[in-house]
Structure 1
Amino acid sequence: MNPSLHFTLPTWFNSALVAGMKRGIEKEGLRMQSNGHASKAFHPAKLGSKLTHPYITTDYSENLLELITTPKATIKDALDMLRELHVLVHRSLEYGELMWPLSMPCMLSADDSDIPLADYGTSNIGRLKTLYRSGLGVRYGRKMQTIAGLHYNLSVGDDLFNKWAKAEVCTDLQDFKNKKYLGLIRNFKRLTPLVLYLLGASPSVCGCFLTGRTHDLVPLDNAKHTYYQPNSTSLRMGKLGYTNSVQKELDIRYNDLDEYIKGLRRAIGTPFADFTDIGVDDKDGNPVQINDHILQIENEFYSPIRPKQVTQSGETPTHALQSRGIAYVEFRAIDLDPYSDIGITTATACFLEILALYCLLSESPDLLPDEEQYLADNVETVVNHGRKKGVRITTEQGEQELHEWIVRTLNEMQPIADAFDEYHEGNDYRSALALMQGKATNPNFTLSAQIESDSRRLGSTWKLGQFLAQKHQNELLGYAISNENAFNYANIAIQSFADQQQLEREETQDFYEYLRQYR
């Protein structure tokens, strides 16, 4: 992927080929008490069962909501559904609770035990989900698991792949798609610094998040209890955030699907001394983690992007990939946009789709450990110093000035933005690219700079978060959902309780026996 070579669209490409694109969004967000601390209340009953509800669940903690849209044909449809889910949440919040709008958490107590694990009921699958979260807690601490982000899931239509495969005289369509999706993933990893600079929105944290952790953050002047790294972009994606040093050594590669699956399975099957020392059960024989391996399950592998296939009942993610290939990619390196009531704007969504197509259609050589190492160094540089004038990163062409590299790369994406707008008969994609170009040339326009500036003005990042949380709640409670949709959502919530109860009624196997077999 050589930014000095001018990108051109392939001769077989035309704008109608973007028609088959589908996008879905998974958005996490902490429930916050009115006093600014993370909520200790149970998941609101009006929202249904978090085990079986298809759109509203919890992630790590009982208070960390996860809202999931279905795959949609347009960005507008995806954002509309995400907004409706937010409205349902705000209508069901009790005790003066709000939804915290930032990726890094609101106030936490010093004690990890104050962060309640999500409780999925008494079925074996529900208890296993809670046990997995217990394992994450004993391995990495519960605070890390309160960090929220947004996943943007994107699939490219078969029309595009068919035309491309025909141009390259390839007859096995799924194999062709697997190769091209992996190429997209490798290029996204190369461009992660660009994503963190443009979309990073976690330059500061509440001091309570740092309790008991070594760090090099400094107090933000005039801002109480707020710590930051000058010129940082996304602390969530750095060493303080959702990363883990154990996984750095895994060498999971994205050059071939079988190789990727084998790498993940190797990690799930390999014990790790530190986790063995914790023990799989506590002194009373109660399980505290699923196993003592590098990964308990596939989902524990943290990566800025993942290849995905829809799983069927009882199927693991790698089995789904192995049997049916890659169906879509999951972009994971995205902080919540705290200025948006739903955590993401149309401009960000448009930009991610331009970026995806650019990564897909650009040359993508194999990604090997040496390159992975300097890419990881690039991420750490941009996380901590991305807005600093003259900051440099390493590329295939050697060292480059970050902001110049971003400007050049964004300029190459112009024909893709044009193609999207030609098909959709609008200007959203070109506007989104222009917005990102402005941020590339002026770091003060970035979300991270805005958050730093507003935290200073208001007296802390917490005060900024509280102000935005209240503002978003007021806006969302004024939003109308059609009677038909409201009725459907109410039925889904009721049905989800019935589904959970049925699972629990039909459970015949003792959990410890179930877990022994699973292990």
Structure 2
Amino acid sequence: MSIHSLTFSNRLAALSQPQFQTSLPNIKHGVEREALRVDPSGGLATTNHPEALGAKLTHDTITTDFSESLMEFITPPEKEPKTTLAQLADIHKFVYENIGDETLWPMSMPCFVNKDTCIPIAQYGSSNVAKMKEVYRTGLHNRYGSTMQVIAGVHFNFSFSDEFWQAWCDLHEVENNMDNRSLYYFDLIRNFRSLSWLIPYLYGASPALCQSFLAGKENTFPFKKLGKGTLYLPYATSLRMSDLGYTNSEQSALNISYNNLSSYVSSVRAAINTPSDQYAAFSSNEKDGWQQLNSNVLQIENELYSPIRPKQVAKSLEKPSDALENRGVSYIEVRALDVNPFSPLGIDENQFYFLDVFLLYCLLKESPKFTQPAYDESEHNLDAVVIEGRKPGLMLTHEGKAISLTDWSTELFTELREVAKTLDEANLNAKYSAAVEREFEKVTDPSNTPSAKWLKTLIDHEIDNSTLGLELADEYKKYASGLNYLHMTQDMFRQQAVESIQSRVQIEQADSKAFSDFIQDYFAQ
């Protein structure tokens, strides 16, 4: 039997077998939630990352992304969504207790920012690996500007269990090994990319932004103005995912392949090793000053923007592409989620259950290899939805033919309901079906989408994005103060902070190379 010969119906029916019913409840998730620290007036906090939260370089749970002000909270892989949300709540509570009168910005698009130079790049210490992280971020600042880099998102990590993969490979009559698991994960990834437009439609929550975000930038969007300084597009879902936000037009020429692990790794490596005339203007050596790690199209793999990534846990100083090549795909990272501004944690329980259904569907569905036209079609559809996803009668393109977003979504949800039933049966509940129906309400009535709700609140009250953001930031801080720790105690967080600082110091003391030699050796591997 061919590895791809089974149809969606065949695979769905097979999930009723005992080996799948016992393994489906073992799906694991983790969350990486980004959040800007803001001062009491709603401006970007320019204070350093609080010492009480530990060392950003070595802390497993609380770190920063691009900026000192852009925090990142990380939860470990867990089966139960409630467990992950409780862990996330513990992290929020401890952070709020240690940032004084600052709060966490509750949305993806940043608060009022004066200039790029006012955004402090994250500092990780004096070690070579710390300096590498800083130089990489300096390169991002020089290439794209810092404002784009302080857009926040939520990354949803997802993996199937070993037991599931054994049953899946048995079904397809292939060996359960790294290569075949990776092949199937890439099947999932291609289907996700083809259908990725659905995610900003359902969860996009950034139809508006502070006009300071566009200072000095050219754009051709027909923005409308609201309040003192808020710009919005009437039908936008996720400006974060548009060319204004967390994408990079300079990477549009990259031909990253998602057809299998080998082609993906080789295409990413090609981008990392392809010189860029544009970026050659920034120095990348000790003599002229480190303005970036190198002048290639990508400095490192992390610079590649994508709504979904194949992932493998990397060892110390191991490149992500090497980790994938050496040990295959172990989980996938969904990167298309806006921060949910209607949740104190940036994500809610319903999203977990729906994403489980959607990602399992992406595995079950037939997944033809990407051709350039098919890839371009997926990008066009995503672009259309982030800018005008709620526009009545919006047309997308499916396999070269025009179809309305509503009709395509309705077809999709017919099959998603079947997948949800199977997950309900395996988990002995009805939460998956309930999640699907709740999301389908957004298809039948776009006013139920978070982007529509956010925009309606702004317009009805004639208030700025920043005003609503600050109100929610204060509300969520008060909410967190009333929570009890459920998984981590305050003392455990404090101990984690101390240990992370000790680990950072050990790394610094162990350094024996000049930074330029360290970088040369890293890229020579």
Partner of 2:392: 389
The one-character-per-residue Cα deviations of 1:295-350 (angstroms, maximum 9, x if unpaired) are 00011000100000111112111111111110000000000000100000101111
Distance in 1, Cα, partners of 2:71 & 2:210:
20
**What is residue 99 of structure 1 aligned with on the other side?**
104
Deviations 1:6-53 (A, max 9, x none): 856533213333122111100101000111111000001111100100
The C-alpha deviation readout for 1:327-385, integer Å capped at 9, x for no partner, is 00000000000010000010111111110000001100001211111211111111111
**Percentage of matched positions with identical amino acids:** 37
Q: 1:395 to 1:205 in 2, by over 3 A?
A: same
State the secondary structure of the residue aligned to 2:409: helix
Q: Deviations over 1:252-309 (max 9, x none)?
A: 1111111100000010111011001233259x72211000001000110001000001
Structure 2 gap ranges (5+): 1-6
Residue 64 (1) aligns with residue 67 (2): no
Which amino acid is 2:122 matched to? Answer: A
2:345 to 342, 347, 370: 342
- Taking a change above 3 Å as real, the CA distance of residues 205 and 93 of structure 1, as seen in their structure-2 partners, is same
Contact residue 317 and residue 522 of structure 2 kept, 8 A = no
Answer yes or no: is the 8 Å Cα contact 2:166–2:176 preserved in 1: no
Q: Is the 8 A contact 2:186 2:258 kept in 1?
A: yes
Q: 1:271 aligns with which of 262, 270, 275?
A: 275
Q: Work out whether 1:192 is the aligned partner of 2:190.
A: no
2:86 aligned with 1:84: no
2:4 corresponds to: none
1:35-84 CA-to-partner distances (Å, cap 9, x unmatched) read 11110000011111001000100000000000000000211111111111
Classify the secondary structure of the residue corresponding to 1:205: strand
Structural mapping, 1:408-487, within 5 Å: 408-458=411-461, 459-482=463-486, 485-487=489-491
Cα distance in 2, alignment partners of residues 182 and 466 from structure 1: 40
- Return the offset for 1:498: 0.6
Q: 1:11 to 1:425 in 2, by over 3 A?
A: closer
TM-score between both structures, scaled by the size of structure 2 = 0.95
Which residue is 2:504 aligned to?
Answer: 500
Match of 2:132 in 1: 128
Which secondary structure does the structure 2 equivalent of 1:10 belong to?
Answer: helix
Per-residue CA distance 1:189-235 (angstroms, 9 max, x = gap): 01111111111111010010010111234554542211011100001
Q: Which residue of 1 aligns with 2:380?
A: 377
The CA distance in 2 between the partners of 1:383 and 1:11, in whole Å, is 34
Q: 2:123, 2:467 → 1: CA distance? A: 30
Q: CA offsets, 1:97-133, max 9 Å, x none?
A: 1100010000101x21110000001000001001000
CA distance in 2, matches of 1:304, 1:87: 29
Secondary structure at 1:102 match in 2: coil
- Asked if 1:174 corresponds to 2:203, the answer is no
Question: Residue 34 of structure 2 corresponds to which residue in structure 1?
Answer: 28
Shift of 1:514: 2.1
| Structure 2 letter corresponding to 1:57 | T
* Structure 1 residues 42 and 324: CA distance shift in structure 2, 3 A: same
Aligned equivalent of 2:12 = 10
TM-score (normalised: structure 1)? 0.96
Deviates more, 1:477-486 or 1:45-54: 477-486
Distance 1:401 1:129 in 2: 44
- Between 1:97-106 and 1:212-221, the stretch displaced more is 212-221
Residue number in structure 2 paired with 1:331? 334
Residue 253 of structure 1 contacts residue 368 of structure 1 at CA under 8 Å; is this kept in 2? no
Is contact 2:90-2:488 (8 Å) kept?
A: no
Q: Name the aligned partner's letter for residue 35 of structure 2.
A: G
Alignment of 1:278-297 (within 5 A): 278-281=282-285, 285-297=288-300
Instruction: Please tell me whether the aligned partners of residues 56 and 64 of structure 2 are also in contact (alpha carbons under 8 angstroms).
Output: yes
For 1:92, the aligned partner's letter is N
Q: Distance in 2 between matches of 1:353 and 1:202?
A: 23
Structure 1 spans left out of the alignment, 5+ residues? none
Residue 159 of structure 1: how far off its partner (Å): 1.8
CA contact (8 A) 2:111 2:466 kept: yes
The runs of 4+ residues in structure 1 deviating greater than 6 Å are none
Kindly state the Cα deviation for residue 244 of structure 1 after the two structures are TM-superposed: 1.1
The answer (yes or no) to whether the contact 1:9–1:415 under 8 Å persists in 2 is no
